[in-house]
């Protein structure tokens, strides 16, 4: 039995964040009904938005698998009435529409709680429900990446901020929303009352960069983001092997991991060098040590370093391409990828699994993403 068998979720979501949360719940056994406008979720056309003449939309299919699709025109009384009929039979309502839009539709949390007191309302916004900017439009690049300070911390001061890959902040916030919804459902089991789960991209971003914000709040200044050639911990840095492949040393506990790295390098003499003999000394000579490492690691291909690292207990990881990550046998072993039925007559899609596994439970997608309005008549007919 999947953990959420028997629970019903209604999703009024677009793009990634709320749909991804609902897709997790679908994989975990919930019955999820996706409500779309007559024009459909804009993520259906994600590749066309950037000028590609392609009908397929793998990101949309990934975040909407296992759902039944219903089209309702919420600008009409009939459409709103049908949505409320769905909510009467639902346990959870998930949405990422902005606060003002929900209020205009009479779907804001306060109104919904009056009409459906046992309903768990999960909202995912850019900037929350309070404050002067609550209705500001916010994708994850703005509300999760730029605004909380994440982008500003990834490059040294003075360099331009790096770009974000699509959906990184959305999926983080989606996981937060699922966690909050499950907590609210547990509370409802004890009290019989629904509740409101309020997740924002902004708050998710500040939590994600919490280590740096904790230091900022305590010391009144930011930590320094250094170029890799000046990294304050040479044993916790990236390097390039002789075949051009990059990898990361992850010796965060410097004194503990130092002997293994020297053994792998065959350079125990570095341990006798007064510049590198202690953690304090290494901290004062990071440029010199990184330069030595760069020279040494450039002498062998990554495959040879991998063998040496593993023999000597060095903690490390390769910097993989997406193609390598997709074919990684360890990722396959932990269930990171699944196959799901294609949308409509589309081909089977190999895509990412949810980040959580349940031992002894088959939580693979039961169905693909719905075509626009595919189940409208079926679902509304069940309400009669």
| Other residues' Cβ atoms within 10 Å of the Cβ of residue 40 | 16
**First-to-last CA distance in the chain?**
29
Distances (CA, A) of 373 to 18, 22, 377: 18, 17, 8
CA dihedral 210, 213, 218, 224 (to 10 degrees): 120
Q: Is residue 170 annotated as a catalytic residue, yes or no?
A: yes
Catalytic residue among 82, 170, 212, 363: 170
Contact 61, 40 (CB under 8 A): no
CA dihedral 353, 355, 361, 362 (to 10 degrees): 0
Is the torsion defined by CA of 329, 332, 336, 339 positive or negative?
A: positive
Residue with tokens 């003002």: 100
- Cite the active site residues: 170
């Amino acid at each position: 039995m999947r953990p959420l068998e028997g629970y019903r979720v209604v999703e009024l979501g677009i793009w990634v964040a709320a749909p991804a949360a609902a897709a997790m719940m679908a994989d975990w056994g919930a019955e999820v009904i996706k409500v779309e406008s007559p024009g459909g979720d804009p993520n259906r056309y994600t590749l066309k938005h950037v000028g590609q003449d392609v009908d397929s939309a793998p990101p949309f299919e990934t975040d909407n698998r296992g759902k039944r699709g219903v089209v309702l025109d919420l600008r009409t009384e009939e459409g709103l009435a049908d949505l409320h009929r769905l909510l009467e039979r639902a346990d959870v309502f998930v949405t990422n529409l902005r606060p003002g839009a929900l209020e205009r539709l009479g779907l804001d949390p306060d109104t919904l709680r009056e009409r459906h007191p046992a309903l768990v309302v999960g909202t995912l916004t850019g900037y929350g429900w309070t404050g002067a900017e609550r209705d500001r439009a916010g994708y994850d690049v703005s509300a999760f990446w730029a605004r909380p300070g994440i982008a500003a911390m990834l490059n040294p001061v003075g360099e331009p901020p790096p770009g974000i890959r699509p959906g990184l902040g959305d999926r983080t916030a989606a996981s937060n929303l699922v966690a909050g919804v499950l907590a609210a459902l547990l509370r409802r089991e004890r009290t019989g009352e629904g509740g409101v789960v309020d997740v924002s991209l902004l708050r998710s971003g500040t939590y994600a960069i919490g280590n740096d914000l904790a230091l900022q709040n305590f010391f009144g200044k930011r930590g320094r983001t250094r170029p890799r050639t000046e990294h304050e911990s040479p044993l916790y840095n990236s390097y390039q092997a002789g075949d051009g492949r990059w990898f990361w040393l992850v010796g965060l506990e410097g004194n503990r991991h130092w002997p293994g790295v020297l053994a792998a390098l065959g350079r125990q003499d570095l341990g006798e060098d007064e510049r590198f003999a202690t953690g304090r000394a290494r901290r004062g000579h990071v440029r010199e040590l990184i330069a030595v490492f760069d020279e040494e690691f450039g002498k062998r291909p990554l495959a040879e370093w991998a063998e040496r690292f593993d023999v000597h207990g060095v903690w490390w990881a390769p910097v993989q391409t997406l193609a390598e990550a997709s074919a990684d046998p360890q990722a396959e072993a932990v269930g990171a990828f699944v196959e799901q039925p294609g949308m409509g007559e589309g081909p089977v899609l190999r895509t990412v699994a949810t980040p959580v596994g349940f031992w002894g439970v088959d939580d693979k997608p039961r169905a693909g993403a719905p075509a626009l309005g595919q189940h409208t008549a079926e679902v509304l007919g069940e309400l009669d």
